[in-house]
């Protein structure tokens, strides 16, 4: 195949990207009512290769969304219900002693529920820190080490974790190191009245999930590779870096709002995650370059779980999203 | 590079050229028009030939500056396009990766090209070009206006509206009367003739003058000529004022005495010496003569010696002062001042002829001392000689003063005639009178020592309350010098009470004579025929 033909195929793939995304969204809409922004961001994270933390009250469709997503993406789905008594080996798997065909005892690794392409870690904040830390390696490196032996997890691999913001008793807040492994933190809000009406109507008919698979893992990987080639202008890159730097109050020239409201800033993973996700978003929007708008739109999902606001912000009734909004406003002035 | 981007960039460059040229031309025309208008109105002295290069230069400077300021890089153009048309950083990305190969980059370039092509052409037009055009048109109009307006005729409008002048009949009569007055005055020749000539010439010019400025010019010239004559005529006054300003106390005393004469009233020098002499005589001659007849040593002997010494010192100081003045100024014999200096110097010497004259004064002092020590052994002839010597000395000093007065009187008359003439001219023609520098005659210096009483000249009898109140005289009752006013105020009430006391045997005529006598002493002597009322 000559270069011209290769290029033509590549261009065809790029053009098909947004069509495929639209197909995925349409299919998901059959099982999940509303939550358009959540679905967009989840798709972005999956294509970008990131993990997502979903926070919302019970019954807003977090689990249903992830399950439907697994079906639509034709990915083996696994659900882990985290409880305080859950052990790390319950997640990663463990070696068991078995008799072989000759009757001799041998140890065999029995993989845990983590060995799937799409893992739903339900109520992850209920697990003990020890169990939570078991997720760290797999989320970052996509492999599990048991008895000094590493077991690779098949790509694509995503962890979609959920958190219940209401229950505080018997929960263990996720450590910053683990929070940093999530590309996005998405707040699943209570559905609107119209959406709730549709949900009730639909579930009265059937509770079954009717979405069909329209994508597979290889296609997702191909889309990921395609998205990574989206060009980013130097100005946009600098803006992204400035935005993340401006979340650090200890640095010079940071905005006054940062110095006033932020205790800890975001890690460099935030900048990486922003650019990676922005590329996917650009393609989803039918563009072939990253814009400031992509960065601004993805700033809150990427940064809200990575910065820590101080008591001044709490006193002023400002949450992480509000503070991020102020930082964006200040950073925009110099672009 | 993207064709559409190149088109836009070229359009941008074209806009830059147009704007900068328009700005330059506008500025140059405004500067040229302003300069032309200002030069036509006479506000700035600028030849029209300079306006063109100045205007062209300003235009060129502004054009270059505007071209540089309006310059934009490709990146800046791209940024502006992305922002203005909400292209989501397409153009910037395209520009940055224009040379990178790959499907994505090719698609991005295509996408950007399509986005740029979709921009309506009217939105790419030069913004606010109409403002530049209007400014240019206004600048052309400014220049055209400046060209069209007529230059101001500066020569036809020399300033404020001139005021007409016509010599009134009463003014002519007043000036002619003044000329006659000056002709009849005692101003010395040739100064008087010169002043009269100046006034006549001024009058003739005023008769034909039609504008106020002509009148002012004639009056100013006449005043300058009169002042010049006054300067020439007052050379001795300058000399005496120099002596007055000197540091010699005795000279100053004499100058004070000289300056306190009465001018313009035709009176003789009613100087200090006459009054003092008369007063002393009224007290002394009778008593002292009687003492002499009775063989007593008069108490005034000592006073005479002191007085003689004081007067001699004053005279000697005058002589010394004159000599010093002459030596300092090194006057030539041909100098007009030399004659006056020499005259006064000789006058001083003449007052004490030869050395004997001075010795005569000192001799008198020595004689007075001897006479005092003689006590009862002194003869009447000795005392008489002493008194005669004192009288002679006083007469000599009076003669000295008179001589000085005779020298100065014409000078003062000359000056005052001149001043009066100038004042009268200014009054008649309502012209601002020049300020004349008057010598400060009222300045009184402090005495250097306590043993030399200062000779205070008499004041103006018509204005002063006391008749020589601060003069020092000898109180014979105590044989000490007291102020005349104090002594007079002590004796006058006592004398008048006694005169008016009906128990005393004074007749009505004697009483009136006494009252009149003290009245005379109080207000001074009058000319024969005048009264003191």
* pLDDT score recorded for residue B381: 56
SS (H, E, C) chain A: CCHHHHHHHHHHHHHHHHHHHHHHHHHHHHHCCCCHHHHHHHHHHHHHCCEEEEEECCCCCHHHHHHHHHHHCCCCEEEEECCCCCCHHHHHEEEEEEECCCCCEEEEEEECCCCCCEEEEECHHHCCHHHHHHHHHHHHHCEEEECCEEEECCCCCEEEEEECCCCCCCCCCCCHHHHCCEEEEEEECCCCHHHHHHHHHHHHHCCCCCCCCCCCHHHHHHHHHHHHCCCCCHHHHHHHHHHHHCCCCCCCCCCHHHHHHEEECCCHHHHHHHHHHHHHHHHHCCCCCCCHHHHHHHHHHHHCCCCEECHHHHHCCCCHHHHHHHHHHHHHCCC
For B20-69, how does the pLDDT look when each residue is reduced to its tens digit (9 = 90+)?
A: 999 999 999 999 999 988 888 878 877 778 888 999 999 999 999 999 99
For B189-227, how does the pLDDT look when each residue is reduced to its tens digit (9 = 90+)?
A: 888 999 999 999 999 999 998 888 889 999 999 999 998
Q: Does pTM top 0.90 for this prediction? A: no
Mean per-residue pLDDT over chain A, rounded? 87
**Residues above pLDDT 70, as percent of chain B:** 53
For B339-372, how does the pLDDT look when each residue is reduced to its tens digit (9 = 90+)?
A: 555 555 554 444 444 344 333 333 334 444 444 4
Q: Please state, in angstroms and rounded to a whole number, the distance separating the CA atoms of residues A259 and B219.
A: 87
Contact A233 B108 (CB under 8 A): no
Burial class (CB within 10 angstroms; exposed 0-12, middle 13-18, buried 19+) of A211: buried
Question: CA of B64 to nearest chain A CA: how many angstroms apart?
Answer: 30
| Chain A interface disruption, residue of B104, B105, B112, most A CBs within 10 A | B104
Residue A190: CB atoms within 10 A of its CB come to 11
Cβ-Cβ contacts under 8 Å, A235 against chain B: 79, 89, 92
Residue B207: CB atoms within 10 A of its CB come to 11
Name the residue facing A11 among B97, B103, B112 (closest C-beta): B103
Q: What is the mean pLDDT of residues A128-145?
A: 84
Contact B100 A229 (CB under 8 A): no
Asked if the model's pLDDT at residue A274 lies above 90, the reply is: yes
Cβ-Cβ contacts under 8 Å, A225 against chain B: none
Contact A287 B88 (CB under 8 A): yes
Cβ-Cβ contacts under 8 Å, B102 against chain A: 10, 229
Which two three-digit tokens encode residue A301? Answer: 């999902």
Considering only alpha carbons, which residue of chain B is nearest residue A228? B104
Q: What was the ipTM of the complex prediction?
A: 0.84
Using CA atoms, how far residue A230 sits from A49, A50, B188, in Å, is 15, 17, 119
Considering only alpha carbons, which residue of chain A is nearest residue B79? A235
Name the residue facing A293 among B88, B100, B107 (closest C-beta): B88
Name the residue facing B106 among A7, A13, A236 (closest C-beta): A7
Using CA atoms, how far residue A126 sits from A94, A102, A173, in Å, is 21, 43, 8
Contact B90 A287 (CB under 8 A): yes
Name the residue facing B88 among A6, A231, A291 (closest C-beta): A291
Q: What is the mean pLDDT of residues B127-151?
A: 88
Asked if the model's pLDDT at residue B525 lies above 50, the reply is: no
Name the residue facing A288 among B92, B96, B107 (closest C-beta): B107
Question: CA of B54 to nearest chain A CA: how many angstroms apart?
Answer: 42
Contact A226 B104 (CB under 8 A): yes
Considering only alpha carbons, which residue of chain B is nearest residue A294? B88
| Chain A interface disruption, residue of B73, B85, B89, B112, most A CBs within 10 A | B89
* pLDDT score recorded for residue B320: 54
For A31-56, how does the pLDDT look when each residue is reduced to its tens digit (9 = 90+)?
A: 887 788 899 999 999 999 999 999 98
């Amino acid at each position: 195949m000559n270069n011209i033909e290769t290029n033509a195929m590549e261009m065809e793939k790029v053009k098909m990207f947004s069509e495929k995304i639209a197909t995925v969204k349409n299919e998901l809409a059959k099982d999940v009512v509303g939550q358009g922004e959540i679905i967009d961001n989840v798709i972005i994270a999956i294509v970008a290769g990131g993990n997502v933390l979903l926070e919302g009250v019970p019954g807003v469709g977090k689990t249903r969304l992830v399950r439907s997503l697994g079906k639509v993406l034709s990915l083996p789905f696994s659900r882990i219900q985290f409880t305080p008594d859950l052990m790390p080996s319950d997640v990663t798997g463990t070696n068991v002693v078995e008799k072989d065909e000759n009757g001799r005892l041998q140890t065999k690794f029995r993989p845990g529920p983590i060995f799937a392409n799409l893992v739903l870690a339900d109520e992850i904040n209920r697990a003990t820190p020890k169990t939570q830390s078991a997720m760290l390696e797999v989320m970052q490196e996509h492999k599990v080490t048991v008895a000094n032996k590493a077991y690779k997890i098949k790509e694509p691999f995503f962890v979609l974790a959920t958190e219940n913001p209401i229950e505080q008793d018997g929960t263990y807040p996720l450590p910053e190191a683990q929070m940093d492994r999530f590309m996005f933190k998405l707040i699943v809000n209570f559905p609107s009245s119209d959406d709730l009406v549709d949900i009730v109507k639909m579930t009265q008919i059937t509770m079954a999930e009717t979405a069909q698979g329209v994508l597979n893992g290889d296609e997702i990987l191909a889309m990921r590779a395609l998205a990574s080639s989206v060009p980013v202008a130097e100005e946009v890159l600098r803006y992204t870096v400035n935005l993340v730097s401006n979340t650090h109050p200890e640095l010079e020239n940071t905005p006054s709002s940062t110095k006033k409201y932020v205790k800890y800033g975001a890690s460099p993973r935030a900048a990486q995650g922003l650019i990676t996700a922005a590329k996917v978003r650009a393609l989803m929007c039918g563009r072939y370059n990253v814009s400031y708008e992509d960065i601004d739109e993805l700033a809150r999902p990427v940064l809200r779980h990575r910065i820590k606001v101080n008591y001044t912000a709490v006193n002023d009734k400002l949450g992480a999203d509000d503070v991020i909004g102020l930082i964006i406003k200040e950073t925009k002035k110099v672009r | 590079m993207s064709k559409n981007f190149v088109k836009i960039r070229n359009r941008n460059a074209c806009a830059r050229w147009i704007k900068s040229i328009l700005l330059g031309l506008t500025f140059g025309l405004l500067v040229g028009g302003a300069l032309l208008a200002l030069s036509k109105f006479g506000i700035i002295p600028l030849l029209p030939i300079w306006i063109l290069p100045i205007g062209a230069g300003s235009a060129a400077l502004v054009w270059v500056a505007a071209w540089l300021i309006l310059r934009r890089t490709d990146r800046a153009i791209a940024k502006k396009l992305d922002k203005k048309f909400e292209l989501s950083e397409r153009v910037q990305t395209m520009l940055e990766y224009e040379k990178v190969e790959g499907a994505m980059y090719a698609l991005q370039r295509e996408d950007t090209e399509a986005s740029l092509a979709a921009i309506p052409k009217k939105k790419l037009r030069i913004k606010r070009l109409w403002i530049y055009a209007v400014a240019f048109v206004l600048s052309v109009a400014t220049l055209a206006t400046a060209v069209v307006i007529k230059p101001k005729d500066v020569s036809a409008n020399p300033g404020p509206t001139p005021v007409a002048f016509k010599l009134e009949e009463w003014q002519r009569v007043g000036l002619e009367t003044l000329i006659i007055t000056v002709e009849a005055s005692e101003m010395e020749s040739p100064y008087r003739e010169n002043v009269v000539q100046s006034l006549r010439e001024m009058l003739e010019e005023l008769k034909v003058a039609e504008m106020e400025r002509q009148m002012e010019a004639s009056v100013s010239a006449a005043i300058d000529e009169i002042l010049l004559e006054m300067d020439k005529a007052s050379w001795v006054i300058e000399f005496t004022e120099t002596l007055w300003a000197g540091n010699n106390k005795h000279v100053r005393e004499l100058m004070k005495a000289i300056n306190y004469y009465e001018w313009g009233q035709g009176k003789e020098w009613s100087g200090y010496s006459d009054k003092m002499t008369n007063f002393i005589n009224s007290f002394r001659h009778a008593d002292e003569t009687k003492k002499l007849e009775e063989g007593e040593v008069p108490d005034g002997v000592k006073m005479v010696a002191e007085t003689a010494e004081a007067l001699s010192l004053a005279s000697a100081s005058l002589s010394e002062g004159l000599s010093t003045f002459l030596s300092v100024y090194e006057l030539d014999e041909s100098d007009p001042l030399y004659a006056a200096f020499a005259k006064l110097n000789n006058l001083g010497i003449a007052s004490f002829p030869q050395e004997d004259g001075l010795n005569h004064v000192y001799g008198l002092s020595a004689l007075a001392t001897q006479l005092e020590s003689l006590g009862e052994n002194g003869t009447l002839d000795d005392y008489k000689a002493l008194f005669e010597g004192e009288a002679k000395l006083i007469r000599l000093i009076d003669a000295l003063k008179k001589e000085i007065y005779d020298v100065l009187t014409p000078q003062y008359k000359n000056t005052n005639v001149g001043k009066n003439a100038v004042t009268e001219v200014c009054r008649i023609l309502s012209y601002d009178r020049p300020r004349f520098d008057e010598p400060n005659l009222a300045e009184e210096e402090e005495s250097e020592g306590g043993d030399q009483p200062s000779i205070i000249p008499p004041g103006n009898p018509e204005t002063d309350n006391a008749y020589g109140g601060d003069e020092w005289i000898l109180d014979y009752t105590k044989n000490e010098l007291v102020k005349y006013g104090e002594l007079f105020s002590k004796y006058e009430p006592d004398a008048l009470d006694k005169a008016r006391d009906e128990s005393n045997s004074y007749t009505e005529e004697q009483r009136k004579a006494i009252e009149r006598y003290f009245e005379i002493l109080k207000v001074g002597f009058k000319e024969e025929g005048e009264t003191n009322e």
